[in-house]
Structure 1
Amino acid sequence: MQKKLIEVCYTPADYEYFKGRFDIIVVIDVLRATSAICSAIHNGVNSVIPVSTIEEAKEYQDKGYLVGAERQGEIVEGFDFGNSPYSYMKPELKGQDIVLSTTNGTRAINIAKDAPTVVIGALTNLNFLCNWLIEQDKNVLCLASGWKDKFNLEDTICGGAIAESLLKTGKFTSNDDSSVAAKYLFLAAKDNYFGFLKSSSHRRRLKKLNLNEDIKFCLTPNSMDVIPILRNDRIEKLEF
């Protein structure tokens, strides 16, 4: 039986090199967009509409939607919330359709949206997502959101964790050095994500904004059994 592919793409700027060869794209933005989306769907938000620009976010706000917007790690003035996972745990958001625009994550989601299947990955839903991906038996690309089209550690490590989990089954193979490097970064970090990422650029950026609780939440693996999936430009809970 022919093995399926699992590869890791470091940034949305590199996506063109991988486009068209994969059945499932896993978009990853550990700090913090995809962690926040997992939190929202896990806590009963009906759907999250990812938009790439503040202008689009404002249009939805003018239509009466609750809108989260983040740039440079901070809430954009005039919007309801940013991309803290804790913002999406509020009971009043249950059953709501909300809109989110972030510096990196929502842009990556929209870049990949024409793929056959797009799901949301984070450390918080890591094992649940990996088990589902193994069952699908399809070619998988982990698309790291990075930081403004540049490589970042936390998204690459998460992609490496997914790659390692799938490769261990013997049903998947990997051809690209980007995936090999991601896997070995994960193996180096897996016993202490928090310590390993202490000097990472985005962790330092968020620490300056006093967002340590967000960092701890996002770097705590397997707190949620949920897979958010993109359907008709909205992210909703994948039902089994």
Structure 2
Amino acid sequence: MNKRIEVCLTPALLHLYDISNSIVVVIDVLRATSSIVYGIDNGATAIIPVAHVEDCLAYSGKGFLLAAERDGSVVEGYDFGNSPFSYTKEKVGGKTIVLTTTNGTKALHMARETAHQVVIGSFLNLQSLCDWLKVQDKSVLLLCAGWKDQFNLEDTLFAGAVVAELRKDFTHFDDSSVAAEDLYQLARNDLRTYIRKSSHSYRLALLNIEEDVRFCLQLNICKAIPVLSGDALVALELNP
């Protein structure tokens, strides 16, 4: 099989791709997918992504942790948002979290409609994710969540990091993959400085969450690969 790797730079372009036989990697590195990876790695039983804040309320009072973020801030009345520091072993071990975010959960819901399989990527599980993708007999679409359907820099950089790692194992790359990899090669020696150029970096600076940003740019501190199973993200069972 000629496995292809493609990068969808924003969910607004997803309809242009045939993903019925592809593994879709949803990417929202600042901060949703980083927090999802960290939470599953820290023993969360499952994370249920929902599209709307109101959808979280259906799970209220049933033993779930409720997490809601809009425009970078925790929605009032919810347990937490999408800061990775809310997803520690002490807070999420053995728990199920219901999560909605501005961009990441929207991209997830769009992907699940037609994708063969949906998994979650971040710099935190980059190597583990790439090692697994290499041995799958499927093409890969790297879906950047972007910012409200617009292109963003940080998700594209991560997509480029995946392309750089998988280049030898796939036969076809689209132009957005080439561009993403070129951007990553420019930025790889100092991701934080490069991402300071991004519009989202300015938004996050206003929220005073520099620690979150730095945390999300760490490489390979997690092994877990969250995979969508039914309505929930759970840990993919990796062969030893």
TM-score above 0.5: yes
> Could you tell me which residue of structure 2 aligns to residue 126 of structure 1?
126
> Could you tell me which residue of structure 1 aligns to residue 29 of structure 2?
30
> Could you tell me which residue of structure 1 aligns to residue 109 of structure 2?
110
Q: How does 1:45-194 map to 2 (within 5 A)?
A: 45-114=44-113, 115-167=115-167, 169=168, 171-194=169-192
Counterpart selection for 2:225 from 213, 221, 227: 227
> Could you tell me which residue of structure 2 aligns to residue 208 of structure 1?
206
How far apart are the structure 2 equivalents of 1:112 and 1:70? 20
Question: Do the aligned partners of 2:46 and 2:234 also contact (CA within 8 Å) in 1?
Answer: yes
Q: What is the deviation of 1:3?
A: 2.6
How far apart are the structure 1 equivalents of 2:153 and 2:73? 20
Question: Do the aligned partners of 1:142 and 1:159 also contact (CA within 8 Å) in 2?
Answer: yes
Unpaired runs of at least 5, structure 2: none
> Could you tell me which residue of structure 2 aligns to residue 4 of structure 1?
3
Q: What is the deviation of 1:116?
A: 1.4
Q: What is the deviation of 1:184?
A: 0.5
Question: Do the aligned partners of 1:21 and 1:139 also contact (CA within 8 Å) in 2?
Answer: no
Question: Do the aligned partners of 1:22 and 1:141 also contact (CA within 8 Å) in 2?
Answer: no
Q: Which amino acid is the alignment partner of residue 191 of structure 1? A: N
User: Structure 1 stretch 56-65 or stretch 172-181: which is displaced more?
Assistant: 56-65
How far apart are the structure 2 equivalents of 1:62 and 1:51? 17
Q: What is the deviation of 1:113?
A: 1.0
TM-score by length of 2: 0.95
How far apart are the structure 1 equivalents of 2:60 and 2:122? 27
Q: Which amino acid is the alignment partner of residue 234 of structure 1? A: A
Alignment RMSD: 1.3
Q: What is the deviation of 1:90?
A: 4.5
Question: Do the aligned partners of 1:34 and 1:105 also contact (CA within 8 Å) in 2?
Answer: yes
How far apart are the structure 1 equivalents of 2:19 and 2:6? 13
Matched position secondary structure for 1:111: helix
How far apart are the structure 2 equivalents of 1:12 and 1:62? 33
Unpaired runs of at least 5, structure 1: none
Identity rate, percent: 50
Question: Do the aligned partners of 2:19 and 2:116 also contact (CA within 8 Å) in 1?
Answer: no
Question: Do the aligned partners of 2:20 and 2:116 also contact (CA within 8 Å) in 1?
Answer: no
